[in-house]
Amino acid sequence: MAITQNDLEILKSEIMADTPDGGGLPTGIAVIDGVSNNLFPDVSDIDRLIGRVRLRKVSLAVKTANAELLQAVRMLFTELPENPNISVFAFKASSFADRRVDAQNKIESYLAFGSKWAGHVLETQLTGQRVIQISLDKGDQVPAVGQPLVIVQNEGQSDEFYQYLRPLKVDVVERRFQRTVSETVTRTVVTIEFGDTLTKTFNGLTVPEFYQNANTNRRAILREARVADAAKYYSASRLAEPVTAMTSRQVKLDSIYTQVVPSTQVETPLLQLDAANQITTQARGNGVIAVNQSVTVAANTAFNLSSGVSAGTLSLTLGSLTLTDINNELVASSGVAYASINYGTGQVTWYSNAPLGQQAITGSYKPASEVVSVAQTDYQIVGDNAGYNFVRELISEPTPNSLKISYTVQGNNYLVHDNGRGLLVDDGGNGRGTIQGKTVLLSTEAIPDAGSYITYSFGVDLGNTQYPATTLPKAYHKLSLGADMPKGNITITWSTGSAVLSNGVITGDATGYLLGNVIVIAPNTTVEVGTDFTLTYNKIIAGGTKSVSKSEPNGYNGIGNYSGTISAGEAILGGTVEVILGGGEVTATLNINSTSLSLAGQSPSPFKVVLVSSSVNLAAGNISFTLSANSSYVQIDGQVLYTSSYR
């Protein structure tokens, strides 16, 4: 016996109401066909004004006494509401016993946590607010109107809570904040207005706390919300043009989309648009920079690589993890992200799930610097019978992480970009195609509107010149000796090393040379700004004349000795002393030793000069001596000259 139409029934569930416990197990009660409001009540004026979602759970059943096979089961919407603002759709239940709250969660689960937004939640956002404020660096991306976000408090903790937001209005202003007692900083403050109110209080960071890399384990952070559809929806659409049997070869619908939840439209001005369509691209180097550092890893703290990073080239080993950069994040082979990377500055910021504590990090990357230039553009027009996949051969090969693709679905613009490693992703991180050289394969999230444009915007490095690896000269420091004339070696010391200047050449922890009265020095290891260099050396004291006038009876003290003293006025190391006797007739040359003098010679020699005694105090610069001569002068006026004395 065949299955007839009368054997097919739609059965009600236990509770046919919009209450949390609505739904439940199916009953044997059939939904009577042709009866008004047998599933849903009439639409009230309030519902028409602010919108509402009503859910009913039903089950499909075959009531027949035989065991015939029911094939090609279909459920059809044969008539749609006359009001275009009312939509009807169906989706599969999670289980026979699930409730309305489960169905609601399924609809709302189209969003999941995405990557952390740059900057920080600005201080405290109170329960009941319809706006939140975030603080960004200049140039950071500002959330767009309609872009789903999620604000999370105490992420990863047992008392974590969060709330999804959809911006209705976004205002941007620049403000100055006190970073330290003596320093201020300019930040971009973004005010985000949304429809719901905050259900709880979220505590963010102050600007000084943000610059001190304060831990956010017990603070609020803002994340993107990624699309992660948890349900597949079924509905119907009206014909855009009549279909004639045996004649029409195609069917045109008003739309292939239906509305699942109520929404509103707001007018938002677009500010600070770049008429030249400039983008930030990378000038990439060919060399490879090795990384070998020991760093302290903590949530929301950062460490800096030595330069900017070429997108798609960074690989770091952290403990047992091997991380590569994908779409501005450091991702393990499991697909879990442990940090974010700023390609322009080379700054790595750790997430809370990274291995914490002192860690050894090794790896490599290719250097790059950011360049602002006018973007290259291309486009293609969507045909009437277009699908989800589009292939485009661009005019030039895009630089990594610079390609942006936009397309239009139901008047809404969708954006796709490359992740720096040859893959296209949307704002939610979902894969949307590939890029190889100049060839782009785009897989759209939905079928774009017929006749709309798919636009491609990207940067190229055709105007950049790459130079081969070059050994740069060392950075030298110049140290002036002033008017000093050093004698012997010069010792140079600083906080991290020392060197010796000997015979005009510097050896030790630095290289360099003496140029006139200037020391040119290049430490082997770069020194910090403000490092002091200490010079230790002996200098030549310019020669001078000291007069000694000595009056002796008959020029003779009874023994035939003549005495004199010299005071240099500063410490000396050695030299010579010339003593002129007899009105210039005799000159005695004395060598300055450590504690005494020695007679080096005399000229001419009409008299015999003998050094009777002497004393030398090098530290005080004092010299005394007693000479004897076979002279019978009544008075001796002597001049004592010292020259070539060293300090």
Query: Rounded to an integer, what distance in angstroms lies between the CA atom of residue 393 and that of residue 139?
Result: 31
- Residue 192: strand, helix, or coil: strand
205 in the same domain as 119: yes
Last residue of a domain, one of 337, 370, 403: 370
> How confident is the model over 589-643, as pLDDT tens digits?
888 888 898 888 877 655 677 888 899 888 887 888 887 765 433 233 333 333 3
Query: Is residue 627 included in any domain, yes or no?
Result: yes
Q: Is residue 362 located within the same domain as residue 315?
A: yes
pLDDT tens by residue, 242-261 = 888 888 888 888 887 788 87
What's the rounded mean pLDDT across residues 544-570? 54
Tell me the Ramachandran region of residue 512: left when phi exceeds 0, alpha when psi lies from -120 to 50, beta otherwise: left
Q: Is residue 486 part of a domain?
A: yes
- R_g over Cα of the chain: 45
CA atoms within 13 A on the CB side of 372: 5
For the stretch 138-183, pLDDT in tens is 878 888 887 889 999 998 888 899 998 888 889 999 888 988 888 8
The answer to whether the Cα torsion of 136, 141, 143, 145 is positive or negative is: positive
Confidence of residue 467 (pLDDT cuts 50, 70, 90): low
CB 626 within 8 A of CB 614: yes
Tell me, yes or no, whether 377 and 430 share the same domain.
yes
From 370, 394, 427, the end of a domain falls on: 370
Domain interval for residue 394: 373-458
**325 in any annotated domain:** yes
577 plus 561 within the same structural domain: yes
Q: Across the strands, what pairs with 330?
A: 325, 339
Confidence at 412, pLDDT banded by 50, 70, 90: confident
Q: Is 352 helix (H, G, I), strand (E, B) or coil?
A: coil
Do 99 and 147 lie in a common domain?
no
- Does any domain span residue 85? yes
My answer on whether 524 and 555 are in the same domain is no
Which tens digit of pLDDT belongs to each residue from 440-462? 999 988 888 888 999 999 988 76
CA distance 403 to 594: 80
Residue 449 belongs to a domain: yes
- Say yes or no: 341 and 284 in one domain: yes
| Same domain, residue pair 381 and 431 | yes
pLDDT at 11: 93
Query: How far is C-alpha 598 from the geometric centre of its chain's CA atoms?
Result: 73
Q: What is the pLDDT of residues 554-564, one digit of tens each?
A: 333 445 577 77
Q: CA-to-CA distance for 407 and 145, rounded, in angstroms?
A: 17
Question: Virtual CA dihedral for 343, 347, 353, 354, nearest 10 degrees?
Answer: 110
Say if residue 84 is in the same domain as residue 137: no
End-to-end CA distance of the chain: 126
Q: Classify residue 465: in a domain, yes or no.
A: no
Count of structural domains within the chain: 6
Position 644 scores a pLDDT of 34
pLDDT band at 27 (very low <50, low <70, confident <90, very high): very high
Determine the residue type at 71. Q
Query: Is the CB of residue 607 less than 8 Å from the CB of residue 630?
Result: yes
User: Do 335 and 347 lie in a common domain?
Assistant: yes
354 occurs within a structural domain: yes
Distance from C-alpha of 575 to C-alpha of 645, rounded to nearest angstrom: 5
Strands 636-643 and 575-581: antiparallel
Q: How far apart are CA 172 and CA 123, in angstroms?
A: 17
CATH number for the domain spanning 612: value is 2.60.40
Enumerate residues 6+ apart whose C-beta is below 8 A from 84: none
Whole-angstrom distance, CA of residue 463 vs CA of residue 284: 12
Residue-wise pLDDT for 419-439, tens only, equals: 888 888 887 667 789 998 889
Indicate if 143 and 62 belong to the same structural domain: no
Per the DSSP assignment, residues forming a β-bridge with 202 are: 125
Residue 246 belongs to some domain of the structure: no
Considering the domain architecture, whether residues 132 and 210 belong to the same structural domain is answered as yes
Domain end among 537, 566, 586: 537
3-state secondary structure of 33: coil
